[in-house]
Amino acid sequence: MAVLQSPSQGNKANNPEVESPQHNKLEEGSKKLGMHIEDIFTDYINRTKIKLKRTLSGAGHENQHASSGKDKFTDYIDCGKVKLRTTSSVGGSVSCDAKTTPDLPVLQNTLIAMESIREASQRIARISAHLQPPNSQTEESCVLKRADCRAKGGAPGFKVAILGAAGGIGQPLAMLMKMNPLVSVLHLYDVVNTPGVTADIGHMDTGAVVRGFLGQPQLENALTGMDLVIIPAGVPRKPGMTRDDLFNINAGIVRTLCEGIAKCCPNAIVNLISNPVNSTVPIAAEVFKKAGTYDPKRLLGVTMLDVVRANTFVAEVLGLHPKEVDVPVVGGHAGVTILPLLSQVKPPSSFTPEETENLTKRIQDGGTEVVQAKAGAGSATLSMAYAAVKFADACLRGLRGDAGVVECAFVASEVTELPFFATKVRLGRRGAEEVYQLGPLNEYERVGLERAKKELAESIQKGVSFIRK
Ligand code: NAD
Ligand code: LMR
């Protein structure tokens, strides 16, 4: 009896039976159609209404079932001369009723005839290309298989991956991205705990399909086909540390993840959150240059939290709702490199020198304020997830072609003599399509700019050297 394994399963070399002519013929048929063998078989069963005998594993009893077509079971479908192994989300084994089972030639003819069924081809091609990454490793986990099944009902939109999805930022970020109507597929990757986070978030009744990926061997599957990759992977600060103290650990993490992006989704927009942003963005750029995939427009360091904080603190002083306030924050994302341009606040406002000094300091030290308040339990996670989603949503609206999407980000820039700098950028289909100039600065801001550039230059160089060394 020939055993047919789905392309996503098993090592054929270990199973001499799969080399039988029947197997080859059927698998050829499935390859021609660009389908998984189990999809073809399930479709066939669905249309012919063959009665199946299903044995529930562990339940100790047998039931007669007609296949629903959507209902795929583990183990084997035995159809007389052919045993077909399928993927499954529910467990148990399935065998065709011997009396109603067609013989192999009938099945083969049916499979090949399906090539002309345009609608079926389109459906499977869409599922394969859009929702099922090739060679998915996730099927090994029951939790992740369930997510796979849900993928069949996916909504139109963008495919987004979060790397570091099980972390303090990653989890609320994943939750908020699952609520974003622009997201059709949400891939959650981390080196720990993604099955739990995926199962949890996957139960939210919003449109995005959630799939989980665990550990380095699944990184490529997590990234394949993504439009936007958000990276909050890496260690956070503890009290007394600077962001630069995180360099030694986070630089390597960012390098590995960006190598995966260069290989699997070189055209994706990348939102880099991992600290120190002033160095990790240059690291990412060098990795992409090395791989020959660098597009400066598509790499954006996330400085949105500085803007969110600035809007909040300035609104407090002005007695306005934060939504009414827009504060440009330029430079970078660490201490004095964070430079709020209070002279350009909208609505136009004036501040006393004392207010300017206090507001600037509070915005620059906002991260440290949270690190100290959390007293060793990490840094900003919830406000960061909020800011990351605000920024990611702007990137997706830009990708969709919306006009006038403008946010601050740390990007490749010619605004100053430095190769990277945060300013307002216009987000479009290709990422940061326009990098805006600084605009008129007052004396206080000009002094701040010089200090910021000095520190930024060193952090940028440190990142570049990490890859070029
Ligand atoms: P966290 O420790 O809670 O979470 C980090 C996650 O990254 C963990 O789940 C961890 O398993 C995962 N991770 C570690 N190595 C990985 C790898 N190689 N691949 C994939 N995932 C990996 O930390 P957090 O509070 O979520 O912060 C994450 C990073 O974001 C820190 O570097 C922090 O400094 C930075 N951050 C940046 C901003 C910003 O404004 N840009 C704001 C806040 C925090
Ligand atoms: C922040 O600004 O909150 C982050 O960069 C985290 C940190 O270490 O301050």
**What CA–CA distances, in Å, run from 109 to 78, 80, 115?**
18, 16, 10
pLDDT above 80 (res 43): no
The pLDDT value recorded for residue 155 is 53
Q: In what order do the strands lie in the sheet with 2-4?
A: 2-4, 82-85, 76-79, 93-96, 51-55, 62-66
The pLDDT value recorded for residue 156 is 73
Ligand 2 binding pocket includes 381 (Cβ within 6 Å): no
Closest CA to ligand 1's atom 38: 273
Question: Looking at per-residue confidence, does 35 or 290 come out higher?
Answer: 290
Task: Give the distance (Å) from ligand 1 centre to CA of residue 251.
Answer: 12
The pLDDT value recorded for residue 236 is 98
pLDDT in tens, 125-179: 444 433 444 333 343 443 344 444 344 444 579 999 999 999 999 999 999 999 9
Ligand 1, residues 189, 190, 307: which to mutate, most atoms within 8 A of Cβ? Answer: 190
Half-sphere exposure of 148 (CA within 13 A, CB side): 26
Domain extent listing, the chain: 7-131, 139-300, 304-468
Structure-token match 């099922």, residue found: 132
Contact predicate 233/257, CB 8 Å: yes
Ligand 1 binding pocket includes 305 (Cβ within 6 Å): yes
Ligand 2 binding pocket includes 182 (Cβ within 6 Å): no
Q: How far apart are CA 11 and CA 39, in angstroms?
A: 20
Ligand 1 binding pocket includes 275 (Cβ within 6 Å): yes
pLDDT in tens, 346-367: 999 999 999 999 999 999 999 9
Ligand 2, residues 173, 237, 246: which to mutate, most atoms within 8 A of Cβ? Answer: 237
Q: How far apart are CA 300 and CA 274, in angstroms?
A: 12
Domain 304-468 = CATH 3.40.50.300: no
pLDDT band with cut points at 50, 70 and 90 for residue 50: low
Ligand 2 binding pocket includes 243 (Cβ within 6 Å): yes
Closest CA to ligand 1's atom 15: 234
Q: How far apart are CA 199 and CA 105, in angstroms?
A: 41
pTM: 0.74
Q: How far apart are CA 305 and CA 309, in angstroms?
A: 6
Other CB atoms within 10 A of residue 380 CB: 23
Fold for the domain defined by 139-300: Rossmann fold (3.40.50)
Structure-token match 């289909």, residue found: 429
Catalytic residues: 333
pLDDT in tens, 324-349: 999 999 999 999 999 999 999 999 99
**What CA–CA distances, in Å, run from 175 to 156, 170, 184, 283, 382?**
19, 9, 14, 28, 11
Task: Give the distance (Å) from ligand 2 centre to CA of residue 179.
Answer: 25
Among residues 173, 166, 172, the alpha carbon closest in space to that of 192 is found at 166
